[in-house]
Structure 1
Amino acid sequence: MNITGHTIEKLEDPTGILTGDRYEIILTIEVPEDDELYSENGLYIKAIYVVDGSQSRVVQYQIFEKITDRYLEFELEEEEEKILEGYCKEHISEM
């Protein structure tokens, strides 16, 4: 998996119940043609990333087909989840 771009948006909690800051991060990804995730239409991941004090983590992610916005019921492999986590942590400072 190769992350080729992203957008980050801070989410507001109108209830004030949740602690920390939440961000929606949309990551454009490329995967090899022989990967089960591969789609001719391209792919993106929608991730929710939480920063709460010194703790930060991806709490949820979903994979979508880019052109159709169709949700794909796949999970990333452990190594890919680490790539996702590291990328989000690195780029959240842009906010």
Structure 2
Amino acid sequence: MLTITGHKVEWIKDPFGILSGERYEFLLDVEVSEDDELYSENGLYIRVIYRVDENKTNLVKYEIFEKTAERYLEFDLEEDEEQTVDAYCKEHLPKAVK
């Protein structure tokens, strides 16, 4: 299980208006227990692309990185972890979007 300890969020500009809705990039600081396969002494963060389209929101894509080395880790989150990330991003959308 992962715990989200903080985040940064930024609106992603779509200069051509090709994609519907708004996109946001979240950088989530996360902690996992030492017995989790994701565990790293250097810490982890998850880069999330999150979409808001009318009254719908969804997690588009995520990537897991080791903090110190900025190394991409080829792991998938478990379903409950994905739901945790989705709920966190939805809750922490910039206020102008809510």
For these two proteins, the number of residue pairs brought into alignment is 95
Identity of aligned residues (%): 58
Q: Unaligned regions of 5+ residues in structure 1, if any?
A: none
What is aligned with 2:46? Answer: 45
What is aligned with 2:93? Answer: 92
Q: List aligned pairs for 1:14-53, cutoff 5 A.
A: 14-53=15-54
Cα separation, 1, equivalents of 2:95 and 2:49: 16
TM-score w.r.t. structure 2 length?
0.94
Cα separation, 2, equivalents of 1:62 and 1:80: 13
Structure 1 residue 94 displacement after superposition: 3.9
- RMSD value, Cα: 0.9
Q: Unaligned regions of 5+ residues in structure 2, if any?
A: none
Q: List structure 1 runs of 4+ shifted beyond 3 angstroms.
A: none
Cα separation, 1, equivalents of 2:79 and 2:90: 17
More helix by share: 1
TM-score w.r.t. structure 1 length?
0.97
Cα separation, 2, equivalents of 1:13 and 1:31: 34
User: Deviation string for 1:35-67 (max 9, x for gaps)?
Assistant: 000000000000000000011011000000001
What is aligned with 1:55? Answer: 56
Cα separation, 1, equivalents of 2:58 and 2:27: 15
